[in-house]
Every structure is written in C-alpha cells, then in structure tokens.
Structure 1
C-alpha cells in the first residue's frame, strides 16, 4: 500500500497526507472545493493532545504561529491552568496544513469531487465528477461529516442532529472581557464561551439547546438567553456570525473495506461540546500512518486502536450537548497509552489477531 488516495483536503486529509509522507508513502490529496474548502467563520481550540499530534508531523510550530495560546480555563467560578492549548480559526488551521502539504511536495488537487470508487485485487480506482480518474493502493475518506466515501463504505450511516445550534463570532467590546489567553465558559440558558486574542479581539461561541432549524438565526433569540456581560460581547460582534446545527455520528457499523478507510469526521464526528473534533482528526493521522508503517493489517489495526477513544468522545460530547450527567466510566485509552500511540519513535505492536 504505497500510493494513497486521500479524499478531502481539510484538517484530517492534510494531516493524514503529512503523516503518510513522513512514513514513506506517496499520498495524493483530492479536495472537492475549488479553494481551501473551509468556512471562514468558525474557530476552534487545539488541546494538548492535538498539539502533540502536530509535533509528530513537524507542523506544531507553523500551526502555533497561526493562533494564540490558551493558558487558563475559567468555568463555574473555578480556574484551571492549561498547557499546550491553542486557539485559531479553522480556516487558518486548514491553510497552514495545506501549505505544509505543498511545501513537502505532496500533490493536492482542488475541485475534485469523488463520484465512485472500485476495488480490485491490485488496488482501487477513484472516479471524480469532472471525469477524472486516479489509481492507488488504498483510499482514505477524510471528507468530513457529509462524506461521500462513507456512503460507499457504510451505506445508510448518516449524521444526526445533536440537539443544539452553535454560533461563532468575533467582537471588540469597549473593554476586553478578560485578559488574553484565558478562555471563560459560562453556563446559563445557553452555553457561552469566549477568549481574547493578543490583538484584543474576542472570539466567542454559544451553544443553544433547541429544535433543528434550516437556517439558524442568532441575534435577537441569542441575546435574550445571555446575561448582560455575555450579551454585550455578542452585541459588539463585527462581521458575519456563523450559525449551524450541531451534528454527530453515532457508532457506525463499518469504517473500512479491504482498500477504503474512514477517518476524522467521516468516521466519528462529535458535537462541538468537548472541543476535540480537530484534535481527534490529528491523532487519527498519526496513528494511521504508524499502523501502515509498522503492521501487516494496518486498516484493521487502526480501527482497533481508534474506535474506543473516539466513540467515547462522541458519547461524552453528546451528553454534554443534551445536558445529561457526565459519563461515569473512565476513558478507555489512558493518557500514557495515547502518548505511546502518538510517539513516532515507538512501533505499533498491536496485530489484527489481538
């Protein structure tokens, strides 16, 4: 499995290309959008695990420059120190990763939407809607929540509404609501959070439990749910506000065939409540590349390693979105185990028989 076709040029797809290139494979990325493929509205936080995965890809410094550090979390009157967290726009993360893909000479083709894929004994053939054809040894579906590859691998598995609408915006109140580097979470009728960049811009988000709406509207309905201080942050918003219906994927029956594999949101999208979507996709990339480097059954080994962790996160995030009590069982993968899975210098010992 030397030539790898990657469908999707977002966070998961580009990170996978970087990881496989480092492992000695020949990845080629196909992105359906004519440009970056990422919206300009949403921002995200990369937790320590996401930054650890980026370090294994030699991309942490470049990504770090595109965002700003978060060193403190304030929630429910308590304060917790954070280590290694970054905040940045999703489009900026995608831009940096795509630039790294280009810098390392990995082919990345825009405007290439997958139409079909056919496996045979020697490889897989991808056909695109522009009549283009590509041939490879394996195909990775990193094409997000509405994955075309998932429709081929696990027909009928579709995202579901997670019970919340999510809004993002950027504002400049007369006085910054906190010092740069602190992220503040406020629990009320709407879950609200904000952080201030070194330049004084306030990044804010709100999660509202409500029925699904084709076009989520935000200003009047959201302001009515917030306390005076949070409403002032929203009222000072400059530019557009992104509103979306949060969706996730319950446990889907199949992640893979003999020559196709789903990763990132295509396989295990979580609602945004835990803030782990991008970080989980970055972990996926490293673990997959190591499995392909070290094992004879890499797609099966990858699934055995990743399913427990990401499905735990999806359930935990779903419970947070639904305002249910937190899960009462510990994570199935310890921090020590995760560190070993991400450590590029350590070989993957798991085999499919195990």
Structure 2
C-alpha cells in the first residue's frame, strides 16, 4: 500500500489534469499548478486522440467530455502525386477524435474542477526543495506548495526536467513549422475522412467538416526553429505568401491555401520531438507527458501517450509502497512503448520535409510506406489496442505482460 497521500502536479495542459484525475481516483489528493494566467486559449493547433488515448480517458471518466467536442475521423487516405490510397482501419476500434488543443485543455480542466481538484493559474515554477518527508514547489509569485511528491507535466520545455537533471536534453527541432486553418472551401472527401497529402514541396493534410468547410493543416519546412512568439510576430499575410509558394501547385492544397482568411490562420510555431530522456525521476520528483516523451506529430500519438502515462503513473503511486519503487516501475512500464512510437514517427519526418534526394526517391519511399500502412494490425495494432489494466494491482516486478494489447 502506498505511503503517498498528496501530490503537486506542475502543468495544466493535457497530462496534468489527467494525472490529477487519476490520482484522485487512486485516493491521492492532487493539486494542479499552471504557469499561464488562465486556460491556454489559442495555444496549440489541431490534434487527434487515438483509440488508446480514449481508453485511458475512460479510466478517469473523461472520455465523454472530450468526444462531445471532437470531430470523429473514421476513414483516412494517403495522397501522393495526385493518387489517393484508402488506408485500412483497425476493426473493432472507435474512430480518431480530432479537436483543437485549447478545447482539449478546457474540457480536461472542467472535468477536474467538477471533481473538486484544485487548479491554480499564474504559478510559474522556479525552484524545488526536497527532504526525506516531502517536496516543496516555489513559484515566481513568491508562493509555495508542499506535498509528498511532485509531478512534472509542464510540457516540452519542462522546468521540472531541468531540476531533476540540469544536463537533461531539450527538445529537438523537426525542421518544420506548424500551421492550421478552417477554410471556406469544400474538399472532395466526405465528412469523417482525413487525407494525408505529400505535396510537391511539403506535407499537408485536410478533412471535410460537417459545415461544408475544410479543415487544413501544414508542416512547412524551415531551417531555423522559431518560438511561438517569434512565429506569431510574422504577419499572417507573409506566412500565407510562403505557404502559397510551398503548396500552390498541389491539388487541392493550392486551392485551400489561396482561400485561407488571414484572420483564420493558426500559427503553432516550431514542431519538436523529445530525444530519449536519461532520467525520468529523482527523489520525490517525476516527469509525465511531453516533459519526458514527445514524439513528433507524425506519430498521431502525442496526446494519447501523455494521457496513458498520466494514468499509469497514478496506478503505480497507488499500488507501490514508496515514490522510488513507484517511479521506477512507471518508467519501466512506459519507456519502451513511448520510445518505440517516437522512433517510428521520426522516420516519417524525413518524408514530410524532403530534400532533393528524398524527393527523387519519393515514389520508392511511398511504395514502402504503403506496404506498411496497408498492414495496420501489425504496425498500428499494438499502439491503438493498448489498454491500461487499472483494476489489476501492480507490484515492483510488474512487466508489460500485465498490459492488454
């Protein structure tokens, strides 16, 4: 039985509220401390929740709140050189759920608050004091908070990660910037279908919305990374000029970018991926979500893996006798899965931002990719059928065989 009774969760994005909800279900009192002064409206673009992410949300009774505000995607296609390939789906699984990251943040925030979980905003972590009996977080506003453990769910630029290990690696730049928009143009696909399009110069995706408009996202190659502040300082008209230059010859990509309203353009800044983090925990501190594993958006699994890890961490803290054994078991359960998915996604990035040699080899690359995606049970089955056995007690020697796939 655990000796942990209280927890501080640093970060109120995706993993933070889910961790607090799972800890609450495990009988551990948790509070969430978010650096932003309010919920993160306008921060982040569109994301998809995979079936495994939805299953993890079921554990904390938050699935319905998210599905109610999402767009289901039941069919996917790959497009290259004007040719569309219908991608097979995994039988027996619910559709992907597409939604904007700020909407997901708000939904999880509201569920957590409704369960009585305290969420404080304007709490930017600056230091942590730790002793044998607890851990104290110190915030930029001069306030403090103390608990048995501290969970770093503070994203890809995590402060907690640097406190745990001052020489920990930071996020790596994928060579692409993220954009999105809702476009007042129809696209030749039925609602519920998403197309992954490998254009002449860069990758983009689009889908049909129930209102007859199109959803659109793009990964624009760029040598230099840009912070969100830098990227949003560039006028939307200038970004649209660059996007038209990159996608103007594509069908229907060119038509879509030519009809994007500058006021509707979402600029999400540099796309990052986390390299392998050597130390997931130290003492009474541990990392979860993007703070420790952030695969590229090519995986389609970033948010889902963050939700899974938050639930699994709470399960470990519930069942194991002390923070050290809980954190060690949590890392052993999660590291192989998240790093395997990140490695798969990293390979796709080379195709999404192709150089001259890759473009010349693109037909061959696409044939190889098609052979892979046409066998979804082998490649995506282990990812999307993954389930956390919340009701199965853990012990220090629990291994992956205790998970169902």
Query: How far is 1:190 from its partner?
Result: 1.0
Which residue of 1 is the match for residue 12 of structure 2?
Answer: 9
- What SS is found at the alignment partner of 2:74? strand
Which residue of 1 is the match for residue 70 of structure 2?
Answer: 67
Question: Aligned ranges for residues 1-354 of structure 1 at < 5 Å?
Answer: 1-40=4-43, 42-76=45-79, 77-79=84-86, 80-81=88-89, 83-156=94-167, 157-173=169-185, 175-188=186-199, 189-214=201-226, 215-216=230-231, 218-226=239-247, 227-238=250-261, 239-296=264-321, 297-323=325-351, 334=382, 338-339=386-387, 342-351=388-397
Range with greater deviation from structure 2 (301-310 or 153-162): 153-162
- What SS is found at the alignment partner of 1:225? helix
- Taking the aligned partners of 2:379 and 2:131, their CA distance within structure 1 comes to 38
Residues 1:51 and 1:126: Cα distance change in structure 2 (over 3 Å) = same
Superposition TM-score, scaled by structure 2 size? 0.81
- What SS is found at the alignment partner of 1:224? helix
Residues 1:279 and 1:113: Cα distance change in structure 2 (over 3 Å) = same
Q: 1:14-52: per-residue Cα shift (whole Å, max 9, x none)?
A: 111111111111010000001113535511111111111
Superposition TM-score, scaled by structure 1 size? 0.92
- What SS is found at the alignment partner of 2:57? helix
Q: Which has the larger radius of gyration?
A: 2
- Taking the aligned partners of 2:204 and 2:379, their CA distance within structure 1 comes to 26
The answer on whether the counterparts of 2:290 and 2:306 sit within 8 Å (CA) in structure 1 is: yes
Query: How far is 1:118 from its partner?
Result: 1.3
Residues 1:228 and 1:44: Cα distance change in structure 2 (over 3 Å) = same
Q: Aligned-residue CA RMSD in angstroms? A: 2.4
Count of matched residue positions in the alignment of Structure 1 and Structure 2: 350
Residues 1:300 and 1:312: Cα distance change in structure 2 (over 3 Å) = same
- Taking the aligned partners of 2:346 and 2:224, their CA distance within structure 1 comes to 15
Q: 1:173-231: per-residue Cα shift (whole Å, max 9, x none)?
A: 1x344221111111122111112222333221111333024345631222222204112
- Taking the aligned partners of 1:37 and 1:298, their CA distance within structure 2 comes to 31
Query: How far is 1:97 from its partner?
Result: 0.2
The answer for unaligned runs of 5 or more in structure 1 is none
Q: Whose helix fraction is larger, Structure 1's or Structure 2's?
A: 2
The answer on whether the counterparts of 1:162 and 1:247 sit within 8 Å (CA) in structure 2 is: yes
The answer on whether the counterparts of 2:129 and 2:137 sit within 8 Å (CA) in structure 1 is: yes
Residues 1:164 and 1:49: Cα distance change in structure 2 (over 3 Å) = same
The answer for unaligned runs of 5 or more in structure 2 is 232-237, 352-357, 359-364, 373-377, 401-405
- Taking the aligned partners of 2:328 and 2:381, their CA distance within structure 1 comes to 18
Residues 1:139 and 1:209: Cα distance change in structure 2 (over 3 Å) = same
- Taking the aligned partners of 2:274 and 2:11, their CA distance within structure 1 comes to 18
